[in-house]
Chain A
Amino acid sequence: MSEPLLKIRNLWIEGRSDETWNPIINGVDLDLNRGEVVGLIGESGAGKSTIGLASMGFTRDGVRISEGSVVFDGVDLVTASAADKRALLGKRIAYVAQSAAASFNPAHKLMDQHTEGPVQHSVSSKAESTEDGIELYRRLRLPNPEEIGFRYPHQVSGGQLQRAMTAMAMACRPDLIIFDEPTTALDVTTQIEVLASIRDIVEQFDTAAIYITHDLAVVAQMADKIKVLLKGDEVEESDTRTMLSAPKEEYTKSLWAVRSFERPAKPSVITGATPVVSVKTVTAAYGTTDVLHDVSFDIHEGRTVAVVGESGSGKSTTARCITGLLPPRIGHIEFDGMQLPLDYRRRDKMQLRQAQMIYQMADTALNPRKTIGETIGRPVEFYLRLKGKEKRAKVDALLAEIELEPTEYFNRLPSELSGGQKQRIGIARALAAEPKFIICDEVTSALDQLVAEGILKLLAKLQDQLGLSYMFITHDLATVRAISDEVVVMKDGKVVEQGEKAEMFQPPHHPYTDLLLSSVPEMDPDWLDDLLKERGVDNIGDAAVDKM
């Protein structure tokens, strides 16, 4: 095959803001042969998705292709007419979006949406494409392939929806599929299934794919070659094995090095010491259904306890019990050996002040109408009763502590900050109360790896300086390895295993811990193959927990 299927040459893309056009992509080239998978990686804002969309000849509102060509099988999509593009898109080029839940129309059944493309493009009749859809669902190892297509999107789980989306992209047997972070929003255990089925089906039909992700380990499993992007510039491109074993550029090396961050182990707890927070046999319910069953663990001074489990396992509910938002039905919470009132409304200011919380989504955790100074200043004023100059000095000190320049950021609104900076403001707001204990609820899961590492390092530094205790809720075991001292593994509202980190990462494990641990993608390109072989391919659907 001499001519590549997709040939992008010298692509320049600009975005409009404040009445001027600013470059987003600066002259990127890309070649993609039939049946080949290229991985695009980079941090957020690197232009991965923009390139992904541009390879369909499409740009978002306020964005334009200013120069270059995107030649798909002899047709330049940049200059092609709308009618020509319509004939290609959906039929020969398909797109799988990050959030399948947001991309399916909730008012129609999966199969009705699946057959839309083939019928529109006159590839097949509705009956034929329904038949074909069932076959695709079977190949993607969806449970009940005959029936699942006749459900509405809200009746299937996230992982299943993502696979149904892949099936939909496959419906016309396209030559090229663009996957835009298809597994970022999923749990590790679900991610495996989706990855395996995407790879299978791409191989079976010899489809070319552009795989966009910020997770290096994932891209290592999926791609034949990898292109690294930084702020719209190409850093380097080579085949996957070369890229992993011998990256050339400094930036690529730094991306690879992120996963190696691990803080030194701390001496173990003196037996008999009073823990800062102690969760005592807590059982809690939403309505009349118990969602937590007899959960107990201790968090000692200056230590980090990671609470691990997939979504729905009760991690965040435990945090709600500790903060008093959800008073437990049985059991109680002790703070420094003293029992706390169960409901937060009955706790006094001092008790509230000692336990602070950092949220997963910094976007919803900061009031969009308040400046950074107001957001951090409020707890300073509320708890420490500082006013005027003293308050300003304290806020400045806090901003310096989270490594942001006080004069520059004091008057900004959250919308003027990046994701990592917002998360830092969340940390500063928690610190402003001068607490002893902080609950970190998935604080790094919405951030890309370099930024997440910065946050983890900051949290570790603050812990050493201030002797804070953390309860670290996460589903990412790399994060656990990096920061925790002790680990609590939860499943279905129960603690299945707990202990020191060193013990937890050593076998023997509880079977569920084992599943979690083995599901974390590794940087080895053969990892997924080995794992599937080990688990037995047919087994994968049963092994991983498929919730409705």
Chain B
Amino acid sequence: MIRATVTAMAWQLGRSKGTVAGKMPLQTFDAETVFLLQQMNQMPDYLRFPFKMVTLFYGLHTILTHGKPFHALQPQQRDAVIRKWKHAKISFMSTFIRFFEGLVTVHVYSRQ
């Protein structure tokens, strides 16, 4: 479930970052998925498990709100969930999205 959620985040965020003027849009975000998983495994060890639990919660909480886990949502629905978390007043929610957004962004632009 964690891998599915990370993959969905990489694709969702990658699609919004992956078109550079004058170049073809990126078609696949497997490299970003691998990068995100590598970085999650490199983070300080006391943060690793809690972060994975938040990822799991993030991946599953949409079952209550949308009837499906995050990775099974339509792109527009995923976008809405990301926006909601990004602008949440609870800091861990916005930090969580910032983590994924920052890493996907830097990786996508490093590929261009």
The reply to whether chain A is a binding partner of chain B is no
Which chain A residues have a beta carbon within 8 Å of chain B's beta carbons? none
Which chain B residues have a beta carbon within 8 Å of chain A's beta carbons? none
